[in-house]
Amino acid sequence: MDMLLQFVANGLVSGAFYALSALGLTLIFGLMRVVNFAHGELYMLGGVMGWLATTVLGLNFFAGLALTLAVMGACGWLVDRFLIERVRDQGEEPSILLTIGLSIFLTNTALLLVGTAPLTIEGPLPNKPVFLGPVVLTELRVFAVAACAVLILAAHLVIRHTRLGRAMRATFQDPMAARLAGINTARVYASTFALGTMLAASAGMLLGSIYSTHVSAGGVVSLKAFVVVILGGMGSFAGAIVGGLLLGVAEALWGGYISTGTVDIIGFIIVILTLIFKPYGLFSTQVERA
């Protein structure tokens, strides 16, 4: 029984990161309809940038996080303006291929520049254990989960309560009407992509401070983010959070009671079952038009 609570707690911790990175993807994939297979690579670059900022440049964790967010936001903006922009409104296929190409390029270029060694980011708190009843966590994990929550809240506020957020919601409801109302939709798309990239990158850096990050982590992260977005429902904020936590807990339980080697299978089983039985996800906000 004690173990059960511990597994659930561990699952919620990793679920918080799944939620954060999936939130980025739900903006890009759910709203913009860009099937972004480079999402995991953006997450990975966040970890690498964080490592560069804290270890090589010697910044403290928070300054490093701010720098990472700024740089990755700019990267996301550029990727959208120079690559995604050119295949917009051509259906999914070009964007799938383009982002697969981008992910191959980013992974292997990062591999050339940084190497295969795991990169550890110095966290802002020591790895001291915290006892919550029968459950043991570390201070760093508690902090990272809190940071995830803050970032998710910040993204929510940006989308709900700023001019840019209003423009985004208008654009994704009806791009033509948004353009007629004087919204520069190209800029909105680029901002959304940048925001999604920043969420992925912050997840990469936070998780890199708990475990470690390495340049080939991207593929698995992309797939799990897709699993969460499909489970939660495309474009749904609540769905990404609940889906992320569900996936985290399911994986922790599977790993704890069944086998650790096949942990990744649970996500794929979830996605197959979701698509068969509830294809619009748990919290879908929009009905798919044919």
Binding mask 229-258 for other proteins (x = CB under 8 A): -x----------------------------
The span from the CA of 18 to the CA of 221, in Å, is 8
CB closer to other proteins, 51 vs 254: 254
Strand, helix or coil for residue 19: helix
Instruction: Report how far residue 135's alpha carbon sits from residue 283's, in angstroms, rounded to the nearest whole number.
Output: 30
Q: Which of residues 16-55 bind other proteins (CB under 8 A)?
A: 29, 33, 35
Residues shown for the chain: 290
Question: Least Å distance between CB 233 and other proteins?
Answer: 12
Tokens of 232: 């939660």
Return the residue of 3, 4, 146, 265 that touches other proteins, per CB under 8 A.
265
- Under the binding rule (CB under 8 A), the answer on residue 264 touching other proteins is yes
State yes or no: residue 58 binds other proteins (CB under 8 A).
no
Q: Which is nearer to other proteins, 54 or 274 (CB)?
A: 274
Q: Which of 101, 134, 146, 173 binds other proteins (CB under 8 A)?
A: 101
Q: Is 109 in the site for other proteins (CB under 8 A)?
A: yes
Residues in Cβ contact with 10 at an 8 Å cutoff, skipping those fewer than 6 apart = 252
DSSP secondary structure, 156-201, as one string: HHHHHHSHHHHHHHHHHH-HHHHHHTT--HHHHHHHHHHHHHHHHH
Q: How many CA atoms lie within 13 A of 124 on its CB side?
A: 15
Helix-then-strand count for the chain, H and E = 12, 2
Q: Tell me if 91 contacts other proteins by CB under 8 A.
A: yes
* Interacting residue with other proteins among 104, 130, 150, 153 (CB under 8 A): 104
Residues that bind other proteins (CB under 8 A): 29, 33, 35, 83, 86-87, 91-94, 96-98, 100-109, 112, 219, 223, 226-227, 230, 259, 261-262, 264-265, 268-269, 271-272, 275-276, 279
